[in-house]
Structures are given as C-alpha cells and as structure tokens.
C-alpha cells in the first residue's frame, strides 16, 4: 500500500484489504490512544505508572520492567515507540484504562472512528492472538493519523535511541531510517505468524509518502520492498498538493470507570494548531450578566482549506486590527460546512481567545497579521521565503505551520510586501525558538533564516 500522506490519495495497492497479523504495528494505536489521553488530561507524561504482574511477564521485545516497579509514562512511550517493548505497551494500556481488555475496547472504537473497517485489536502489544488482525490499508490510515493528529509526538518514531528511564533503547529499524532519504518513521512489527511488517514514512520537500508492507520474509527483504514502494510513491505523487489532514476522531473512552493510578490528574489539554474535529477545551464564561453572543465554529475539513481561507478573511482582519475578543462554542456538524464566525468587541475586564481558529489569509493591504499571538515579549521570527504573489506566500505559511507545529505553535503568520515580492514570516518567537525552528525547517529542505522584530 502506498499513499500520498498530504491528501490521503492511494498511489498503489495490492491485497491491501486482506486481514493479516499486524504484530507490533499495533503499538501505533496504543501510542495514539495514549496521546489522546494526554491531550484530554486523563494522564500526564510524568504520571508514575505501577507495573503489574501481567506487564512484567510479557515476552520480548522488553524494556525489562519488574512487578511493583514505578516508572513515568513518558519512558513507557519511548520504549514502546523506539524499542517496540511489549511490557511497556501493556503498562501503558493498564495505566490509561485499568486493564488491557478495556484498553483494547478503546483501541477498537478509535479504529472504527478512523475508518479502519477491517481491524480488530485484542491486546496493546501485537503479539499473536486469535482475532487480532488488521490490513495494510488500515495500518496506512492509522500511520497518517499519527503523523497529522499528533505532530508534537511524531518525532518519537524517528529517534535512533531514547532514554527510557531504566535503560537507553535503540530503534528497531535504524538501518532503513539511516539509508533512505527523508525517512522519519514509523513502526516495525514481527512475529512468526505475521512475518516482517513495516509502516514507513518519508518527507522530501513538500511531499510526504506512507507505505506499508505485511509479511516480509526477512528484515532485508522487507526494507528492500518498502524502498521500492516509497520510490514509487515519490515518482507518482505530484510535486505540489494541498495538505488535507485527516479528521481526528474524538477520544473513545473505554467502558472502564477509570484507573485508580491516575488519582486527581490535572485536566490540562494541549491544543495543537491543526484544525480537526477532536474535542477541544471550552472557554471560561465572561463575567457579565448579559448572555454573550456566540461564535459558531464548524469542524473544518482540511480538504476545503482554500474555501476557509477565502471565507474567513474579514474575521481575520477584524481580529488583527480591532483587538476583539471571541468566545468559542464547538458545534457538531453533519458535514464539513464552514460557518462564518461573528465577532464581538472586546470588554476591558477580560479577553477570551478562541481555542481553535480556521486558517486565515490576507487582503490587499501591505501587511496583515493573520494569527493572534500571546507571545508577549518575543521579538524574533523566521522567514521562509519571498514569493511573487501574496497567495503563494499564504499557502507556504499554512503548509509550514502544519508540518512544524512543535516549534511554530503560538507564532504570528505574517505576509509583508517588499519591493521584490511578498515575504512569508512567522513572528512572535524567542531567539532560541526561532533558531530551533529554522534548523528543523532547513533539515527538511525548507528555506529559512532568522529575522528581528522589525521583519
């Protein structure tokens, strides 16, 4: 199976819907559900997890956990993603849902919400079990969700080694990651029943390809086949394509009443800048006796991002130039229709900022701020190129923002007209943040240099 990750277009498939043993590809879903739980505040990266007898007794690959031991969740995530540790995967499941069975129920509900129609999970690690099956198509879909729904965690899958608390673990597929240009993940899997499986992804410039292989006869044969499929994908994919991230499913809580290990964990929700339909935080009410006007914001499907850009320009200008406050009300939509928000003047006592914003564009003014920032005294930025038209600059800003959310989150997207064209800038960063963002973008082949607050 070969897919253009930007659009979800299938570029090649063969036996893509045949149910097979996924082996440790399963851990992509284990980690996805864990990322959801962290985002919802059900658990934190630093929550101590007590290891059960079941988790400690899982067969290799293992981190080496012992019954009764406590370890922070972040180390279990690293061990599962990098080393494919089975004991870590079971410990994650029990920490979030109380039992592996309850966690498997949540995995299956999440899979259905993603459209994974031919997958059934029975455990969190992927060891062979009756009825534990998936397909190349479903695993490719899951890999795409991992990339776009949680970009802040995706780097876990490309780490050649990681500190897992009690040991330093090494990646299960270092050789292919080092040999294939642009490779940055995602997950290997092997059991006797499954053979050698791999869901891989690589990015070259603006192109990103995902390929999946089931049932390889050896590591070398699997890697050779995945290389052929990735090359096919880059040859067939268009050089330019509008990024259409998948719609992230809402968290599918298991029927378990909760895990006593979590106690009174805080409910801090980490909001990414990718527009999705996942559950988002509700803003605190305004301190006023009159009922506030509502801002109705529909779930935005990224495949109509250009329409959103065009329809939201007036709201973007009002926010940037009139210092307004808006209060979000998330509504469920039967389809990805866009409802234009209404804007209410800010009250001096309090400003409430919308938790989600649709992408914005600019009008014909020389300079327009397209995203409200709370960066305070951050006076640095990065330039990602000069373009012949304002439209080209806007598109590049949106594409870069989607691909580099971990360092650019909270920054201003700004297009500035110069004599030679239109500069595409991200402003409102610290010097260290701007330097890190530039280095990461340059590593991907994106032109970038730091700029001061004057642009």
Q: What is the DSSP string of 373-389?
A: ---TT--EEEEEEEESS
Please state which of the ranges 139-153, 230-244, 375-389, 402-416 shows the lowest mean pLDDT.
Answer: 375-389
Residue 106: pLDDT band (50, 70, 90) is very high
Tokens standing for 59?
A: 């067969």
Q: How many percent of the chain have pLDDT more than 90?
A: 57
pTM for the structure as a whole: 0.59
**279-283 mean pLDDT:** 49
- Residue 293's pLDDT is 39
Summarised one tens digit per residue, pLDDT across range 357-367 is 444 444 444 44
Q: Which residue, among 78, 92, 156, has the nearest Cα to 123 in the 3D structure?
A: 92
Rounded Cα–Cα distance for residues 186 and 171 (Å): 11
SS3 at position 101: helix
Q: The tokens 């590049």 sit on which residue?
A: 396
Summarised one tens digit per residue, pLDDT across range 122-161 is 999 999 999 999 999 999 999 999 999 999 999 999 999 9
Residue 254: pLDDT band (50, 70, 90) is low
| Residue 318, C-beta contacts closer than 8 angstroms, at least 6 positions apart | 324, 343
Has residue 418 got a pLDDT over 80?
A: yes
When the pLDDT of each residue in the chain is averaged and rounded to a whole number, the result is 79
- Residue 305's pLDDT is 47
Q: The tokens 């096919």 sit on which residue?
A: 232
Q: Which ranges constitute the DSSP H helices of 126-168?
A: 136-149
C-beta separation of 86 from 95 below 8 A: no
- Residue 377's pLDDT is 53
- Residue 357's pLDDT is 42
Tokens standing for 252?
A: 């599918």
Catalytic residues: 24, 27, 84
Secondary structure element (H or E) that encloses residue 151, with its range: none
The better pLDDT of the pair 446, 87 is held by: 87
Tokens standing for 117?
A: 């129609």
Summarised one tens digit per residue, pLDDT across range 314-340 is 444 444 444 333 334 333 333 334 444
- Residue 415's pLDDT is 92
Residue 259: pLDDT band (50, 70, 90) is low
Rounded Cα–Cα distance for residues 275 and 305 (Å): 10
**20-47 mean pLDDT:** 96
Radius of gyration of the chain (CA): 23
Has residue 46 got a pLDDT over 70?
A: yes
**33-47 mean pLDDT:** 95
Summarised one tens digit per residue, pLDDT across range 206-215 is 999 999 999 9
- Residue 20's pLDDT is 97
SS3 at position 198: strand
């Amino acid at each position: 199976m070969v897919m253009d990750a930007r659009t979800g277009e299938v570029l090649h498939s063969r036996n893509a819907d045949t149910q097979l043993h996924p082996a440790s590809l399963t851990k992509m879903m284990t980690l996805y559900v864990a990322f959801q739980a962290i985002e919802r505040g059900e658990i934190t990266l630093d929550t101590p997890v007590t290891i059960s007898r079941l988790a400690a007794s899982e067969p290799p690959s293992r981190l080496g956990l012992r019954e009764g031991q406590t370890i922070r969740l972040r180390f279990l995530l690293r061990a599962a993603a990098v080393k494919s540790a089975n004991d870590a995967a079971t410990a994650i499941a029990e920490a979030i849902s109380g039992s592996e069975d309850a966690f498997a129920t949540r995995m299956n509900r999440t899979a259905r919400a993603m459209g994974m129609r031919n997958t059934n999970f029975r455990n969190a690690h992927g060891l062979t079990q009756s009825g534990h099956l998936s397909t190349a198509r479903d695993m490719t879909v899951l890999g795409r969700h991992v990339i776009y729904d949680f970009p802040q965690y995706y780097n876990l899958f490309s780490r050649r080694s990681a500190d897992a608390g009690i040991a330093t673990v090494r990646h299960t597929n270092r050789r292919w990651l080092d040999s294939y240009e642009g490779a940055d993940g995602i997950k290997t899997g092997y059991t006797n029943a499954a053979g050698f499986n791999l869901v891989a992804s690589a990015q070259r410039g603006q192109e990103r390809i995902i390929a999946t292989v089931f049932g390889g006869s050896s590591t070398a044969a699997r890697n050779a086949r995945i290389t052929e499929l990735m090359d096919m994908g880059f040859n067939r994919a268009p050089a330019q394509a509008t990024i259409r991230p998948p719609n992230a499913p809402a968290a599918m809580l298991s029927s378990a009443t909760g895990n006593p290990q979590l106690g009174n964990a805080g409910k801090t929700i980490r909001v990414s800048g990718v527009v999705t339909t996942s559950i988002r935080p509700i803003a605190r009410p305004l301190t006023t006796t009159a009922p506030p006007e509502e801002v109705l914001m529909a779930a935005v499907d990224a495949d109509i991002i250009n329409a959103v850009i065009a329809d939201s320009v007036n709201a973007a200008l009002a926010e940037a130039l009139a210092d307004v406050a808006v209060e979000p009300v998330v509504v469920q939509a039967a389809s990805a229709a866009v409802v234009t928000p209404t804007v209410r003047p800010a009250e001096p006592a309090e400003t409430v900022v919308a938790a989600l914003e649709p992408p914005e564009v600019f009008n014909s003014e020389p300079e327009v701020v397209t995203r409200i920032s709370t960066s305070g005294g951050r006076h640095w930025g990065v330039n990602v190129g000069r373009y012949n038209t304002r439209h080209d600059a806007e598109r590049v800003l949106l594409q870069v923002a989607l691909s580099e959310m971990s360092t650019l989150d909270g920054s201003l997207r700004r297009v500035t007209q110069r004599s030679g064209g239109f500069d595409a800038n991200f402003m409102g960063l610290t010097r260290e943040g701007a330097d890190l963002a530039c280095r990461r973008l340059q590593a991907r082949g994106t032109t970038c240099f730091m700029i001061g607050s004057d642009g």
